[in-house]
A and B are shown apart, each in its own frame.
Chain A
Amino acid sequence: MKILVTVKRVTDYEARLKIKPSGEGIETDGVNMIANPFDEIAVEEALRLVEKHGGEVCVVSVGATEAATQIRSALAMGADRGVLVLHDQPLDCSGISLLLEQVALQEKPDIILMGKQAVDDDSHQVAEMLAERLGFGQATQANKISIEGNLATVAREADGGIETLGVQLPCVITTDLRLNTPRYASLPGIMKAKKKPIDEKKAADFGLDLTPKVRMTHFEFPPKKQAGQIVPDVTTLLAKLRTEAKVL
């Protein structure tokens, strides 16, 4: 079985972010960068599937040269090799899915495992677009995956219950938070990862029109939370809820 896992380099969710003076993006200089946590779950799931069924895990990232760091972390967890599609201009989800389509056509994976969304821009679109482009079946937000022959059985958390899907391979599956707990990259794993291959490709070489159709135009922080008030008694509370908050 061959599993292709996508990994995106994103800003650390624990970092305190600043908006660029132009308002058009997030300042990433000096901000700690990590692998998208949902993608780490995808790497872990791919490793478990391959441990069970045999095969190979290939990790792909689209981005600047620094994204190699996030590929290396996946290799340190145990993935076999990496593909880095170099592109340092703005890309939208459509462009990214076009590039991933090219990689998938070359790699011919049985399963493409992806995070359901990236924690930086939360678009939640790339996997869905990629499946459409490839004409693959898709199962999103998996919290349990099992493979038998040509069929992937995927359980997804729905409101108040579990929905189970059967998807024909090859397919795209996206991971939800509770699918697994990713393993640590062990020290020997980190050492071994240094010797694993990362194949670098230039996005421009694919000859695609990658001009973004969507552009981030403006960022702003949510309004600052007002300080709370302590009221002396329930009567005052009710009065305030009525007259000030106007919720009663």
Chain B
Amino acid sequence: MIGFELSEDQKQLRHLAHEFAKDEIRKKAAHYDETGDWPSDVLGKAFELGLVNAHIPTEYGGLGLGALDGAIIEEELGWGCTGIATAITANSLAQIPVIVAGSDEQKRKWLAPFASEHHICAYAVTEPSAGSDVAAIQTIAVKKGDKYVLNGQKMWITGAGHASWYFVLAKTDKDAGHKGMSAFIVPKNIPGVTIGKKERNMGQCASDTRGITFEDVEIPVENLLGKEGDGFVIAMKAFDHTRPLVAAAAVGLARAAMEHAISYAKERKTFGKPLWHHEGISFMIADMASDVEASRLLVWKSASLLDQKKKNTLVAAYAKRFAADSAMRIATDAVQVFGGNGFNREYPVEKLMRDAKIFQIYEGTSQIQRVIIARELFAG
């Protein structure tokens, strides 16, 4: 049976997230885009309303929301501002490895505090010389007694400046490729952890992106997630959960760009008629609408597979690739619909175009999504 109708609960979640995006996020979006300041007031309010960390299981103080619930919320937050949405949601990327692979004790220690206070955590996998090719990372963890000693450098880590701990992928066996990687929880306030400056990015300026350096950082063995060698699988499993979310934020952005394009095309007149009476414009917007809808359906499918405890890696790659590429094109076309005004900061769409680009890059680039898809198609 195929049903696309949301439950009453899901409609309520969406309503809450939408109202929040409209009244709180959108009001501040231009300000944080301009200043690049950390949107702590908006994050605080989102936390009070339970919009942060909702996917943490109820045993550890969360709300135990499902993947589809999360995607529905994320689309609305993304519709508000994907920079702020990323700052809100990046937590889940670091928490999910702990949810997926942590022991009960680790979950109690690292997840439960999120229920009572607004904390940030960050997912630190990428390095200056290893992004798409995760197995090429050089950060190394050497076991010494009841500690691991961590050395290396991470780059482009979202939330790094505000996080209280990091999920870190490091090599415990340099020669074992994927199987030589292990996953650790690294608290920020321990000796040897140095946080870089906030990077000045093209878009999603409200989000915080930095490098991190680890210099002889001693971490207790109980901070190892799973076993030695499990790291790669854990990090990749997290993507099955987070790619639907990231794709959902891209759908929100695309929808916002489309809505702006529609209202502008109704108001603006050229050659004696509203823009949308020119087929060149209305067809562009018709394409936007169909791609928003198609992206959303892929997001919902990839999320509901997860809720049914089925493997979703392939569909999550479809969703991430299609939603990201569509969002970029839709935002670019929205700028086109606005003409010169589209290029101007007084109008909303240039920000959307700058913000959209990162969706084709982080959480696995659009090329890497295709690598994943093609690998499935040609497997066996």
Within 8 A of A (CB), among B1-20: 8-9, 11-13, 15-16, 19-20
Instruction: Spot the interface stretch: A130-138, A161-169, A179-187, A216-224.
Output: A179-187
In the complex, chain A residues whose CB is within 8 Å of the CB of B50: 186-189
Known: A184-B20, A184-B49, A187-B63. A69 touches B13 (CB 8 A): no
- Asked if B51 is at the interface (CB within 8 A of a chain A CB), the reply is yes
Does B54 lie at the interface of the complex (its beta carbon under 8 Å from any beta carbon of A)?
Answer: yes
Chain B residues with Cβ under 8 A from A73's Cβ? Answer: 12, 15
Q: How far is the CA of A185 from the CA of B63 in the complex (A)?
A: 15
Interface: B293 (CB within 8 A):
no
User: Are the CB atoms of A185 and B12 closer together than 8 Å?
Assistant: yes
A129 at the A/B interface (Cβ < 8 Å)? no
Contact B9 A186 (CB under 8 A): no
Query: Which residues does chain B contribute within 8 Å of A185, judged by CB atoms?
Result: 12, 16
B9 adjacent to A184 (CB under 8 Å): no
* B48 on interface, CB distance cutoff 8 Å: yes
User: In whole angstroms, what is the CA distance A238 to B37 when docked?
Assistant: 53
CB–CB B9/A187 < 8 A:
no
Contacts of B9 in A (CB 8 A): 190, 194
Judged by a CB distance under 8 angstroms, whether A64 is at the interface is no
A187 B13 Cβ-Cβ under 8 A = yes
CB distance from B247 to the nearest CB of A (A): 21
* Choice from A69, A76, A187 contacting B51 with Cβ under 8 Å: A187
Task: Given A187-B63, A191-B63, decide whether A72 and B49 contact each other with a Cβ distance below 8 A.
Answer: no
Interfacial chain B residues near A72, Cβ < 8 Å: 8, 12
Bound: A189/B50 CA distance, A: 9
Residues of A contacting B63 in the complex (Cβ-Cβ under 8 angstroms): 187-188, 191
Question: B16 contacts A187, CB within 8 Å?
Answer: yes
Assembly CA distance A189 to B54 (angstroms):
12
> CA–CA, A8 to B54, complex, Å?
30
Q: Are B19 and A187 in contact, CB atoms less than 8 angstroms apart?
A: no
A215–B51 Cα distance when bound, in Å, is 45
Query: Shortest CB–CB separation between residue A103 and chain B, in angstroms?
Result: 23
The docked-state distance in angstroms from the alpha carbon of A186 to that of B49 is 4
- In the bound complex, do residue A69 and residue B8 qualify as a contact, i.e. CB atoms below 8 Å apart? yes
- Nearest-neighbour CB distance to chain B for A69, whole angstroms, equals 6
What A residues does B19 contact at CB under 8 A?
184
Contact B12 A186 (CB under 8 A): no
Chain A nearest CB from B45 CB (Å) reads 9
In the complex, are the beta carbons of B48 and A190 less than 8 A apart? no
Instruction: Find out whether the CB atom of A187 lies under 8 angstroms from the CB atom of B49.
Output: yes
Taking CB atoms, residues of chain B closer than 8 Å to A191 are 63
A229 CA / B9 CA spacing, docked (Å): 49
How near does chain A come to B379, taking the closest CB pair, in angstroms? 39
**Closest B residue, CB atoms, query A194:** B9
Q: Residues 43-69 of chain B: 1 if any A CB is under 8 Å from the residue's CB, otherwise 0?
A: 000001111001000000001010000
Q: Is the CB of A76 within 8 A of B12?
A: yes
* B88 CB to nearest chain A CB (Å): 13
**Separation of A69 and B15 alpha carbons in the complex (Å):** 12
Identify which of residues 232-287 in chain B touch chain A, using a CB-to-CB cut-off of 8 Å. none
Which one of B8, B13, B19 has the greatest number of beta carbons of chain A within 10 Å?
B8
In the complex, A193 Cα to B54 Cα: how many Å? Answer: 16
Q: What residues of B have a CB within 8 angstroms of the CB of A189 in the complex? A: 50
- Most chain A CB within 10 A, of B49, B63, B65, is at B49
Question: Whole-angstrom distance from the CB of B297 to the nearest CB of chain A?
Answer: 20
- Least distance between B47 CB and chain A CB atoms (Å): 10
- Of all chain B residues, which has the CB nearest A34? B15
- Closest CB in chain B relative to A187 CB, distance in Å: 3
> Is A186 within 8 A of B8, CB to CB?
no
Instruction: Tell me the bound Cα distance from A210 to B19 in angstroms.
Output: 37
Which chain A residues (49-81) contact chain B, with CB distance < 8 Å?
Answer: 69, 72-73, 76
Q: How far is the CA of A72 from the CA of B11 in the complex (A)?
A: 12
Contacts of A190 in B (CB 8 A): 9, 12-13, 16
**B contact residues around A194 at 8 Å (CB):** 9
Find residues 143-192 in chain B having any chain A CB closer than 8 Å to their own CB.
none
Other A-B contacts than A73-B12, A185-B12, A187-B13, 14 sampled, CB-CB below 8 A, are: A69-B8, A72-B12, A73-B15, A184-B20, A184-B49, A186-B16, A186-B48, A186-B50, A187-B16, A187-B63, A187-B65, A188-B63, A190-B9, A190-B12
Q: List 14 A-B contacts (CB under 8 A).
A: A69-B11, A72-B8, A73-B15, A76-B12, A184-B19, A186-B48, A186-B49, A187-B16, A187-B50, A187-B63, A188-B50, A188-B63, A189-B50, A190-B13
Residues of A within 8 A of B (CB): 69, 72-73, 76, 184-191, 194
Give me the 3 closest cross-chain CB pairs, A-B, nearest first: A187-B50, A186-B49, A188-B50
